[in-house]
Structure formats: C-alpha cells, structure tokens
Amino acid sequence: MKKLLMVYAVLIATFMLFLYVYAFREDTNRTEDAMYGGLHGDIGEKYVMVNFQSGIDYWKSCLKGFEDASASLNVSVEYRGATQYDANEERTVLEQVIAKKPAGIAVSAINPDALVVSINKAVEAGIPVVLFDSGAPKSKAYSFLGTDNYNAGVKAANQMAELMGGSGKAAVITLPGQLNHQERTRGFQDTIRTLYPDIQVIAVEDGKGDQLVSGSVAKRLLGEYPDLTGIFATEANGGVGVGNAVKEAGRLPKVKIIGFDTDKGTLDMVKSGIISATLAQGTWNMGYWSLMQLFHLKHGIVQQVADWQGSGMPLVPTYVDTGITVVTRQNVDSYYAK
Amino acid sequence: MRNNKSGVYGILDKFQRAAWFQLNNWPIRYKLIMHFLLISILPAICLGVLIAWATDNIIEKQVNDHTSQLIGNVNKSLEFYAGNLQNMTYFISFNPQIKRFLSSDVKQPESEVYDMKKFLQGFTTLYTEVAGILVVNAKGEYLSNEMYARSSRSLTEENWYKEAVEEKGIFKLIGHPSNRNVTTHVNYKDEDVVSVVRAILDPETQKVEGVVLIDLKLRVIAETVKDVRLGKSGYLTVIDDQGDSIYTPVHPIVSKLERAWIDEHPSGEFSKDIGGKQVQFIFRKSPFTNWTTVGVFSTKETVMEVREIRLYIICFIFVVCLLGIAASTYLSYTISKPIWQLMSFMRRAEDGNLSIRFKDVRQDEVGMLGRSFNAMLLQITKLIGLVEEEQRKKREAELRSLQAHIKPHFLYNTLDTIQWLSRKSGAHEVTEVVESLSRLFRIGLSKGNEIIPLEEEIAHIESYLKIQKTRYRDKLHYSLDIDPMLEGLYVLKVILQPIVENAIYHGIKERRGPGHIAIQAYLADERIQLEISDNGVGMSTEVLHQLRKSLGTYPQKSGMPSSQQPAPSLILPGDSQEELDTAKGYGIKNVQERIQLTYGASYGVHIDSEPGKGTKVTIYHPVIKRREAGRA
C-alpha cells in the first residue's frame, strides 16, 4: 500500500511538473506577445475617418496622422467621405459606415447640425465617435480635436493688422455654413473691431471652399473696393484662388493675403510672396489623436468609472486644441515635405 | 570458485541469476500487476504516441495547406490593388487633357492644369490607398496634387522613369521608392509607400510620351498581410523580385530573406535552421505583381492545437496510469490475497497446527482449494489418530512381552537353585532334568534376542528332548543331524520346540511302542532347512489339508495394522477335540507367523504327513550370517 502511494505521489508530481512546464512555456510565449508593447490592438479592428470633400489635400495630413496612429496601434483604418461639399452625401456616407459597425469613427462635420442624428445613433450603438477639425457641439460625440478656430481668427487678425500697418479695408472669404469657418471669421472680426479700429472689415463672402469660386469672389471684391488692402481666406483653396485673382488683377503687393492651411499651392504662394502669411493647423495631430481617443474608448482604457457609458463623465478630453502657427516667407521652408 | 569466473561470464551469470530476470521466481502478485499494467498502460502510451504523431503530421500538413491558401488569398488582394492601380494608369492616359499635356509642346493654361489636377484628385478621393499620383511628360514637366520635385533636376532622369520606359508601356511595380527627386506634400516616407509606374506610349510611333507614377500606401498591403497570423509568432512577409522587403512585420523571426532560398520556383515550402530555431517557410509568387508572399513560422510551435492535443493525450495517459495502477493492484490483490492466506494456513499446518481450517465461502478455485485443503487436513488428522492408536497398541504389546520375559527369568533362577539343591542331595536325575530345564529357559529367554545362533537353538531343542526323554524313557528316541556348514548361522529362536512338541504329543504319544524323532539341519536352495520327522500316527488328509490351509491363510505380508485384522493366534489351547486340533496347529502356526513376519512369504513351514507313517515338518529359514543383518 505504501509503495502504491509512493508510485502515485511520483506520478502526480511528474504530472504537476509537466503542467507547470506547459503553463510556463505558455507564459514565455505570452511575454513574447507582450514584447509588442503597450497599446496593441487587433488588425481586424477598423477605425473609419469620415469627412467631406474627401479628395482635397487638406485631409491628407489628417489621414496621415490617422494612419500613423493605426500603424503604432496595429489596427486598420479606412477613409471615407463625401466627395463633394454636400451635407446629405456625408450623412449618407456616415450612415453606411455606422451600418458596418466599425471600431470607431472620427468625423469632421460639414456643419454643426447635419450629422447630429447620425453621430448620436452611432454613439448609442456603442461605436465611439470623435469629431475633428470641424465639430458638431450638439452631438453626443465624445470629443472634439481641432484648431481653436476663434483663436486662429484672432491670430489672423493680428497678422493682418501688422501687414496692413494698422489701417485699411479688409475682406474675408469663408464658408459661412461651416462652424470652424464661422469662428475664424468671428475671431478675425472681433479682434479687428476691438483692437484695430482703423481697419474696416468691408465684406464677408462665401468662397464655397473652391479655388475658382474664391478667385472670382476676390476678383469681384477687388473691383468693388479699389482700396481693399487685405484679404483673409479662411480655407486653403480660397487662399490660392485669392492669390491668383490678386496676381491677375495686378494688385500685388499692395493687397496682403492671409491664407489658411499649408497645402502645396498655398506654400508655393507664401514662398513666392503672393500670400503674405498662412495659418498652419495641427492637422496631423487631429488624425493621430482622434484615433488614439477612439482606441482608448473602444478598449475602455479610460478613467475607472462604474457604468462609464451612462455616467456622463468625460471619458477622454472633450476638447483638444491641436494648435495654430503662422507661416510666413521666413519659416515656410520647414512646412514643405522633406 | 566464483572468483575464478572472469568478466563477461561472471556478469552474464549474475544477470541470469538476478531474481528479477527470472519471471518464475516473481510473486504471483507482481506478475499480475505487471500483466495488468502491460495490458492497460502500454497500449495507452502506444496509442497516445501514435495519435500525437498522427495529429502532428496531419496538422502540420493542414497548416501548410492553410497557409498556402492564405498566401494565395493575400496574393489575390495584392493583385487586386495592383490591378486597380494599373487601371488607373490607363484611365489617366485616356483623359484627353492629360493626353494633350503629354503630347503638346505648349504649356497648358492655368485653368486646364486646374482641371487636370481636379481629375487626378478624383482618383485619390475614390482610392484612399493611393498616396499620390504623378504624371510626367517626356520633357520632364509634371502634374500632381500631392507630389512635387525636390530640385530642378528633370524627372526623366529618375530611375523609376527609366524603368517605366524600359518596360515599354507595361505596368510595373517597383517596390519601395528610394532616392527619388520626388516628395509628397503629406510626408509619406519612402518606406510608407510602394511605387508603380507605367510609361504612356504613342500608339503610332511607340514613342514614350510620359510616365504615370502612383504611390500606393503600404498600410493597405500591411493591413492585408498583417491580418494573417500564423501560429503564435508566425507571420507573412512580402518581398519583391529583387528580394527586397515590401512588407515585414515589426518583430520578424527572419530579418532578411535570402532570394536564393526562394529561387525561381513560383511556390513551395522549405525549412531552415535560423538562430537555433527550426523555421518553416511557405511561399507563393504572384505572376502579376512579381511579388512573393512568404509565410514564416517556427515549426516547433506550429500551432496551438498540437500542444493542446498533446496535453490532452498526456492527461489521458496519466489518468489511465492512475486507474491502471489502482485497478491492477486491486485485481492482483484480490487474486493473490486468498492464495497468500491459503499459503499461510498451509504454513501453519506445516508447523503442526492441524486443527486450523480455511474459513471462506468463496466459490472460486481458491475456495475449492481451501476446501480440499480442509479435507486433506481432516484425513491427515484421522490417519494420525490411527497411527497413534497402533503405536499405543504396539507399546502395550511390548510391555506384555517384557512381562512375559520377566516371569520365566525368575523361574530360571529358581530352577538353578533347585539344581544346586538336588546335586547336593545327590539326586542326579533331578539335577540333569533341572539343568536341562534351566538351559531351556536360558536359551528361550536369550536376553530378549529374537535371533540366536543355530547351535543354541539346537542346544535348546536338545535340552527339551532330554527332559521329554526323562519322562517317556524308552518310548521316545531322537537323533540330531546338523550340517557342520551351518555353524555360525543364526535362526529365529524357539522355532523347533513347538514342532517337536507337536511331534511328541500328537505323533509319538499316540503310537504304540517307541517312537523316533529325527531332526536334520542342512543348507539347500540358499536356505536353511530344518527337518523334524517322526514316525508317529500321522494325520488324515483332511486334517493335513486343514492344517496347511490354516498355515496358508495367514496374511503373507504384514500390512498396516487395522481393526479388521483377524487375530487367530490369540486362541488358547483347551480340552475339547476342536480346541485340541486348533492347539495342534497353534505351535506350528506360531512358528510360521514369526518366520513369515520376519522374512517374508518365501520362508516358513511345510508339513507332510501320512496316517500311520508319521509326519515330517520342514522349516525354511533364510541364511542369516550376522545377528545384526537379520535383525528385523
């Protein structure tokens, strides 16, 4: 009997040893997994970036940020959007994206209201949504990442006042329906009105976000106001259009132009002196941190709050200012791609 | 002795002598345990090993097949992307404005450039995997939304341009771009993109009009390829036809794939030892993209399933071992235990405890054995009882015979006294008779010895005859004729006297006139023959027959003493004729019995008689040379 017990003890010990070795080997494998480090998602997770006018160069930097974040998190990304400046089309695209149940959506809203219903629907369905570049404050999106557009307007106004020597007539070519452009315009107008009483903002026009439209608007304005010395275009295509119009009208260098964003055309014009200054947004940051936030929301790597879905507490920073810098001829070289 | 045995033989000898080697010397319990273990655990282990081996093979094959399929699918999606890009290059070249840009020598107006840029933008709007499109004409002028030349150096001197020209209008993937004079506005680095080029030819002149360059985001390929994970640490990697990596994951097992490994085969598999790790490679080349997708995984950790199956098998074997050991121990215990018990009972019986009994009601062989054992013990006890009884009887008989010897001894002493008294008083006849009688007793006793020298037996019978002669005077004559050859031989004592007595009382006494008894002793047929013949009345045929019969019926061999044994010798002589007849035979029978008991049936007494002519009794006695030899 004793012998039998001993045999049993030896057997069980061997088995335990085997299990231990087995589990241990499993562990070493896991540590190998852990080698990939920190935040590590699944390549099957798909995060979607949705915007409007999806072909324009401006988004490419945002998308680059989005893609770079996806590479470091090991997840997939997709870029979708309305091809035109069309709120209905963007809503349709967003609805299509939601129907596919992606891991998260980063949306740039064409206007503050058009996408609220769709965004809320996505959030209620458990799909994390953040807004970038252009927000929709009435929606349930978790966060907004973008330029403080009012501040951008303020910066543009200060720059403009400096360029105009503190007095003269200025015009704004913008996208009146879009919140970020409205704020830029408001920041610009408020600053001029309060700080530079000698400067008059004589017109706020709709450039439709298109180079040619903006150009013709600028042409008209130049014709109407011969003493116009400053034009602030609140978006990139507008700046290039305005530049071309001013150049064609032969009003350079009297008319100072402040553009927006750092696309190739704008940068070239800054370099050649057609556009006096442009405002560079942290577009890469928008894309990068949008995906970071979406990833955190998707994986619940957020503040430990019981029932975080319903608590109403901010789970991620609700507002991220991605910064704004003034690009002039002096520093334009550093904005070209290397 | 052992020391003399050298080396090998000694070891072999020891080996053969080793107790464990000799299966027959094993206790039955161990034999049974061994047997049960052999038939339970050994097949389990064999089965386990077989299953493990089979699953290993099958799963390895399946993994290879599966991986090959995955690679095929990945290749398909890569081809799909490449196909899309190819279509794009065609589509771009079909555009009339682009055509004009490529062929005409005059610079395009601004609005037309804007249109063309819009047109190109359309592609990146729809195909987000495109990082940039660049159209270059033969003069080195270019058109692009995303890309621009770093320096003023003509783009037609670029490597990719030349490669496209070389291909003569065939679409070409050139992998990661390097040292290009082209950069993208959105900072896509060389390793982030894969370039494709196609030269646009004039269909008539076959002159190169320009080249379309499209950068594909590597992310798209990476996502397709990354999605496939082989086992724990396996992965897919894509290399171009130069062996340069298109896509390699972050922590690859193999940092650089040698082009020579893959060689010219369109697909295949091989394994290599890399850093002490056996690594399996499965590859497939896409004829369209000219890229080779390679699956790389460690053979050791092929798949989790194998390990899992192994775990289950080992668990199974372990359980079988536990159950097998328990079952075999229990079974062997149930079989060997009663045998042990029986054995211990037998040991105790061996040690003399015959009252022990095997108490078990079991019906199996052991139970039967136990019952047989009990029956055997019963029988033995019974036999021992019988032997004891016999021994007791024998002892009693010995005591009786001792007593019978004591009385004549006293008589013999008394006779000696009488002899001296009669000699003193001069009664010679009395002296002589008493002396004879005294000698008769002395020899008859002979210190209790059963076998005496023949001379003494003769002296004994002579003394007897002398006494009888004194009584019967002239009526009795006798003669003794002893062969001198017989000197020194031994015979049973007092074998002559009863026969002589018979001859006197039944032969001579009944006869009228003097009778004669002749005693002869001689050797014949290796036997001593003692012949006692008288010329008395003899006996009738019936009487002789009866006498012979009574001598013959006596069991010739002394068997086991038993209660059924007849004891005719215990009948004492009496007065009646019948008793007389019996008495007549008594002396002879006594002699017969003694001789036959001592020497066997081939010796004994033979009687011949004729009425009126006398009787002749012959005693056949073996030749006994030494007292000791004849001692029964």
Beta bridge partners, A320, equal A145
Mean pLDDT of chain B: 80
Nearest CA in chain A to B333: A1
Best B186, B216, B330 member to test A by mutation, with max A CBs in 10 Å, is B186
Nearest to A43 among B227, B318, B325 (CB): B227
pLDDT greater at residue B452 or residue B257: B452
pLDDT at B402 over 80: no
Nearest CA in chain B to A22: B311
Can you tell me which residue has the tokens 């602030």?
A232
- Asked if B161 contacts B138 with a C-beta cutoff of 8 angstroms, the reply is no
pLDDT at B19 over 60: no
pLDDT of amino acid A96: 93
pLDDT of amino acid A185: 94
Element (H, E) at B16: helix B7-17
Spatial strand order of the sheet with B193-201 comes to B142-143, B130-137, B208-217, B193-201, B172-175
Q: B91-148, pLDDT tens digit by residue?
A: 998 888 888 888 887 888 878 888 888 899 888 888 888 888 999 988 888 888 888 8
In 3-state terms, what secondary structure has residue B595?
helix
Q: B83-93, pLDDT tens digit by residue?
A: 988 999 999 98
Q: B232-241, pLDDT tens digit by residue?
A: 678 888 888 8
Nearest CA in chain B to A44: B227
pLDDT at B2 over 70: no
Determine if residue A115 is left, alpha or beta; phi over 0 gives left, psi from -120 to 50 gives alpha, anything else beta.
alpha
Spatial strand order of the sheet with A277-281 comes to A199-206, A168-174, A228-233, A256-260, A277-281, A324-328
Closest CA–CA distance from residue A124 to any residue of chain B (Å): 28
Q: Which of B188-192, B337-341, B490-494, B582-586 has the least mean pLDDT?
A: B582-586
Res. B277 pLDDT band, cuts 50 70 90: confident
Best A67, A72, A74, A213 member to test B by mutation, with max B CBs in 10 Å, is A67
Token reading at B499: 């026969």
Q: Tell me, rounded to whole angstroms, the distance of Cα B160 from its chain centroid.
A: 81
Give the span between the Cα atoms of A73 and A68, in whole angstroms: 9
pLDDT of amino acid B560: 38
pLDDT greater at residue A239 or residue B277: A239
- Asked if B338 contacts B369 with a C-beta cutoff of 8 angstroms, the reply is no
Q: Would the CB atoms of B301 and A76 count as touching at under 8 Å?
A: no
Interface check A311 vs B, CB under 8 A: no
In 3-state terms, what secondary structure has residue B41?
helix
Per-position DSSP letters for B186-197, written without gaps between them: T---GGGEEEEE
pLDDT greater at residue B631 or residue A326: A326
pLDDT of amino acid B271: 81
Q: Tell me, rounded to whole angstroms, the distance of Cα A303 from its chain centroid.
A: 24
Q: B605-628, pLDDT tens digit by residue?
A: 888 888 888 889 999 999 888 655
Interface check A5 vs B, CB under 8 A: no
Torsion over CA: B525, B457, B567, B598 (sign): negative
3-state secondary structure B379-401: HHHHHHHHHHHHHHHHHHHHHHH
Integer angstrom CA distances of residue B72 from B229, B282, B426, B459: 14, 11, 156, 135
Q: If you compute the radius of gyration of chain A from its CA atoms, what whole number of angstroms results?
A: 27
pLDDT of amino acid B169: 84
pLDDT of amino acid A328: 92
Interface check A4 vs B, CB under 8 A: yes
> Under 8 Å CB-to-CB from B344, ≥6 apart: which residues?
none
Interface check A43 vs B, CB under 8 A: yes
Q: Would the CB atoms of B307 and A22 count as touching at under 8 Å?
A: yes
pLDDT of amino acid B563: 37
Spell out, as residue ranges, where chain A has pLDDT lower than 50: 31
Integer angstrom CA distances of residue A219 from A226, A241, A265, A266, B250: 11, 9, 19, 18, 54
Closest CA–CA distance from residue A55 to any residue of chain B (Å): 4
Give the span between the Cα atoms of A53 and B5, in whole angstroms: 104
Q: Would the CB atoms of B322 and A60 count as touching at under 8 Å?
A: no
Q: Would the CB atoms of A7 and B325 count as touching at under 8 Å?
A: yes
- Asked if B119 contacts B93 with a C-beta cutoff of 8 angstroms, the reply is no
pLDDT of amino acid B21: 61
Integer angstrom CA distances of residue A62 from A97, A261, B76, B580: 19, 12, 30, 157
Res. B43 pLDDT band, cuts 50 70 90: confident
Nearest to B186 among A71, A80, A337 (CB): A337
Beta bridge partners, B606, equal B618
Pairing relation of β-strands A104-107 and A129-132? parallel
Q: What is the dihedral of CA A310, A313, A319, A320, to 10 degrees?
A: -100
pLDDT of amino acid B227: 78
Counted residue by residue, chain B has a size of: 632
Give the span between the Cα atoms of A204 and A185, in whole angstroms: 8
Interface check A197 vs B, CB under 8 A: no
In 3-state terms, what secondary structure has residue B245?
strand
Give the span between the Cα atoms of B309 and B47, in whole angstroms: 13
Closest CA–CA distance from residue B328 to any residue of chain A (Å): 11
- Asked if A315 contacts A309 with a C-beta cutoff of 8 angstroms, the reply is no
Counted residue by residue, chain A has a size of: 338
pLDDT of amino acid B12: 57
Phi, psi of B426 (to 5 degrees): 80, 10
Chain B residues with CB inside 8 Å of A18's CB?
314
Read off the pTM: 0.61
pLDDT of amino acid B625: 82
